Structure 1
Amino acid sequence: MSELFGDRLFNALERTDPAPGMLLVAAPGLVAGEFTRSVVFVIEHGETGTFGVNLVARSEVSVDEVMPEWLAITAKPKALYIGGPLSRDTVLCVGVTKNGIDPAGNPQLTRCANRIVYVNGAADPAELATDVDGVRLFAGYAEWAPGQLDEEIARGDWFVAPALPGDILAPGPADLWSDVMRRQPTPLPAFATFPVDPRDN
């Protein structure tokens, strides 16, 4: 990415380490195919690497077409999202619990942050309805080898920020990348309107 957006912007900010329940927000100038203006929710991060799902890449495929049993608890838009470039024949599920629900009481739910949970895809969705406000289904995921993500963050490709429940279940018209940028420390909100193609500016 360019020196302008790497060195002068993200590299100048106070660093937050990636962890489960955090967001990886693509730098404004990052042009890396599927990761341009992406917001990746981190599901796991540790010595063996990092993996998560891109919250912004919605497909044209309806959940009803591929996993109709999940339709009732899937948040609108009820579409299958593209979680990342790897293993797109694998579907991952992330959800948001209802207020007052302790995920520890349900073995199908693993708490990531706030009310955000990683959901066992083999669970019976009908049995989750009383515990979750909604879920999102992702085909595939993004993954980084040990040390790889740290190098990309140090280079200024990603900004790490806490995730909110609303990020997981964002409505279809939302521009999640811009919304997340607007709530970050200065100067990031100023870049919330950064165009996909800088030539459009």
Structure 2
Amino acid sequence: MPSDLGHALLGLLARRPSTGYDLARRMQRPVGWFWTAGHSQVYPELARLEADGLVEHEVVPGRGPRATKRYRPTAVGTEALRTWVAAELEPQPVRDLEVLRLWSVWLVDAEAATDLVRRVRAGHAERLAAYEADLATLDGVAAAHDPAAPDFASRLTLVGGVLTRRAALEWCDWMLAELTAADRP
């Protein structure tokens, strides 16, 4: 059974065969919007997936002195990914550093609290702009409306990101209003 990272890599490879280097880059964006892994984690995971018969590679010309491996999922790997996608979800632990800091914001003065909320808001605004830009690349793409196409799944996750970030901005604006109201006599 692949790890969560293994499933992420299988999902990327199901979209298109890739080298380890390409996978590491694609783990930054678009997958990095919702799941992260370092470059150093990709290659060992690919080796595990290959040892388990879930991916295979072909040697292709590369830029460096060593041959380059381009990976693709095997039929078993694709089936393992399908099974995982449809399986029951287990509750996920929540680890949100922004919310953890905001939970203790009462300990700092109003200026520091306002500064924190503004920084949090700026981060959400930046992410929203990136999601909207990525989503715009799918405008007019027929496959983005075909439930059997990778672009459809990309559109679903990007719309989810847009809606989530808009809600986060609304929350930040509310917090700023609360902080401003608290400063008034």
Higher helix share: 2
Higher strand share: 1
The TM-score with structure 2 as length reference comes to 0.20
Q: Relative contact order (C-alpha < 8 Å, sep 6+): which is higher?
A: 1
The structure with the largest alpha-carbon Rg is 2
The TM-score with structure 1 as length reference comes to 0.19
